[in-house]
Amino acid sequence: MSSELVIVYHRQPYEEVEVDGRIEYRENKSPNGIVPTLKSFFGKVKNASWVAWKEAEDTSNPGFDRVVHIEDSFGKYTVSRLPLTKEQVSSFYHVTSKEAFWPILHGFKEKYNYDPVDWPTFREVNWAFAEAAAAEAAQGASVWVHDYNLWLVPGYLRQLRPDVRISFYHHTPFPSADMFNVLPWRGEIIDSLLAADVVGFHIPRYAANFVSCVRSQHDVGNVPRVRVPDDLVTEGSALSDRTVPTEIHMSDGHVVHLGVTPVGVDVDYIDGLAASDETAELAKRFRAEVGDGKMLLSVGRTDYTKGGADQLLAFERLLERRPDLHEQVRLLHVSVSANRAMTVYEPIQKELEEIAGRINGRFGSFSFQPVALISRAVPFEELVAWYQVSDVAWITPLADGMNLVCKEFISARRDGDGVLVLSEFAGAAVELGAAVMTNPFSSRAMDHAIDLAIDMPEDERRARMKLLRAAVAKRDTHHWAADQLALLSPKDFGDDSGAAA
Ligand code: GDG
């Protein structure tokens, strides 16, 4: 009970490696995803903890140290590991979170699978997370909970520790009431979130959707709004609200602050990698492999929300429509499965393989394959070199909370060239108005955007990239961290303008 800051995130913040029968905790330096960003907070707070789960065969006697003390380049911190059985992990994460919540959060009602959900197990696991956080938190500490698989933690934690400040951040979109209310546990989830002091989102629209869900269940009266800062909604932004709700006043006097702070990438780290001799070597090699033609790049997890199949179909239509591009354009489609054990992703993997195979069969030759489909993780250093070599980053998710890949691509383009084609339904479309926006649900819009990107003159490419680089540099991971710390710290809670910045 000594940490001023407790981060509750389902994954552990390091890699465990067995060396001579002993477990070593290795820092994972990769900037991918959110873990390093969260760890950067440990340098700013003296006593900090992280709560995560770890699989154990027997949870009463897990066979591992429940609490470990880590010291790495991010600082000193404690990690509290919740022992969960394989069945608990599968039920709370793979089934309830991924088969029931994930489709609803991303607007895919038809993929929503209610039947296998075991709600008592979801409650039990969330309760265990809340207990572990309560055990770590000092009096009046800030506890920061991440993502929908821990939706019930704020409510439980409030019961266990009325003294702590609780912030909950959503990395996914937050859907409107008509979509969210499909979840039969909607009342319990909303009530838990309303027990927090801060509920955080990437973009204004998600905060507004959250308010619509709250309103569908509670009479919360007037919800104040402020104008969204100009640098958040840039010119050309797709589908952004210009005002944002700031706080919800509950009838018992409790105030829930709504924080809108888009996650950024570590621009300095990526820039450093992009400037290194090793990356220059790799980029030279890749450029030689690509030859004179145009190179399109797509990177994302294998997930129906990422729109991989629609994009490959758009590439097939491009080759049908434009014989001038035969043997002149290639697509590198990196689609990595987050978890091969999850059967829900099998059909999409098969579909990608089928379309890519067909395109290569129709338009390829022995020496030239228009699509390279990579289904294994590419080392980040190589990814940065590919970002540099590509003419177009083609990022067209059907729904995406933010999308960090497009921001990584922009950060890697020290040469100021390259085109970003971006889905209007990625959260990043709010900040990145200078991208070529497209609607991945429309074949015509997808065809138009890719033609525009491939044929774009250099001066226009550079003008757009300049704006994109400025936007990404402004709201990088440090900006997000500073905003979030301000929201977590009680002294800023009286200031409404801070809640929307
Ligand atoms: C969730 C939300 C939100 C991908 N392939 C490889 C690889 N990656 C890395 C990318 C990037 C990360 O994975 C993916 O981040 P995204 O933001 O695109 O997507 P999600 O994993 O769905 O994350 C999302 C995010 O949370 C943060 O709030 O933006 O909307 O869904 O960093 O580089 N990395 C390597 N090899 C690969 O092959 N090394």
DSSP 8-state assignment for residue 96: I
- Please write the tens of the pLDDT for every residue from 424-461: 999 999 999 999 999 999 999 999 999 999 999 999 99
Q: How far is the centre of ligand 1, averaged over its atoms, from the C-alpha of 403 (Å)?
A: 7
* Res 32: pLDDT: 57
Which residue puts its alpha carbon closest to atom 38 of ligand 1?
377
Q: What is the ipTM of this complex?
A: 0.97
Which tokens is 336 given? 């990595």
* Nearest-CA residue for atom 28 of ligand 1: 171
Three-state secondary-structure class, residue 409: helix
Mean pLDDT is lowest, of 22-36, 415-429, 455-469, for: 22-36
Alpha-helical segments (H) within 83-137:
86-89, 102-105, 119-136
Q: What's the gap in Å between 404 CA and the centre of ligand 1?
A: 6
Cα 406 to averaged position of ligand 1 atoms, centre (Å)? 10
The pLDDT value given to residue 298: 98
pLDDT of 493 over the 50 cut: no
316 in contact with ligand 1, CB cutoff 6 A: no
Quick one: average pLDDT of 369-389?
94
Position 125 pLDDT exceeds 80: yes
pLDDT at res. 155: 98
Write out pLDDT tens, residues 137-175: 999 999 999 999 999 999 999 999 999 999 999 999 999
Per-residue model confidence (pLDDT) at position 341? 64
CA of 138 to the centre of ligand 1 (A): 33
Q: Which residues pair with 300 in a beta bridge?
A: 335
3-class state of residue 94 by DSSP? helix
pLDDT at 492: 40
Look up tokens 């895919």; give the residue: 108
**Tokens 């640098």 — which residue?**
231
> How many whole angstroms from 57 Cα to the centroid of ligand 1?
30
CB 152 within 8 A of CB 192: yes
* Distance in Å, CA 1 to ligand 1 centroid: 33
Higher per-residue confidence, 219 vs 230: 219
CA of 273 to the centre of ligand 1 (A): 18
- Say whether pLDDT at 481 is over 90: no
**Closest to 413 (Cα-Cα) out of 360, 452, 358, 466:** 466
| Number of the ligand 1 atom closest to the C-alpha atom of 263 | 28
- In the predicted structure, residue 307 carries a pLDDT above the cut 90: yes
Rounded to whole angstroms, the Cα distance separating 80 from 52 reads 6
E strand or H helix that includes residue 285: helix 277-290
CA of 453 to the centre of ligand 1 (A): 23
Using most ligand atoms within 8 A of CB, pick from 381, 396, 405 the residue to mutate for ligand 1: 405
Taken in order of first residue, the domains within the chain and their CATH numbers are 3-264+477-493 (3.40.50.2000), 267-473 (3.40.50.2000)
Quote the ligand 1 centre to 361 CA distance (angstroms).
30
378 Cβ inside 6 Å of ligand 1: yes
For the whole model, what pTM was predicted?
0.93
Q: Which of 30, 144, 267, 403 to mutate to test the pocket of ligand 1 (most atoms within 8 A of CB)?
A: 403
User: Among the atoms of ligand 1, which is closest to the Cα of residue 306?
Assistant: 22
Which atom belonging to ligand 1 lies closest to the Cα atom of 173? 30
Mean pLDDT, residues 395-402:
98
Residue type, 199: V
**For atom 27 of ligand 1, which residue has the closest CA?**
171
- How far is the C-alpha of 23 from the C-alpha of 465, rounded, in Å? 45
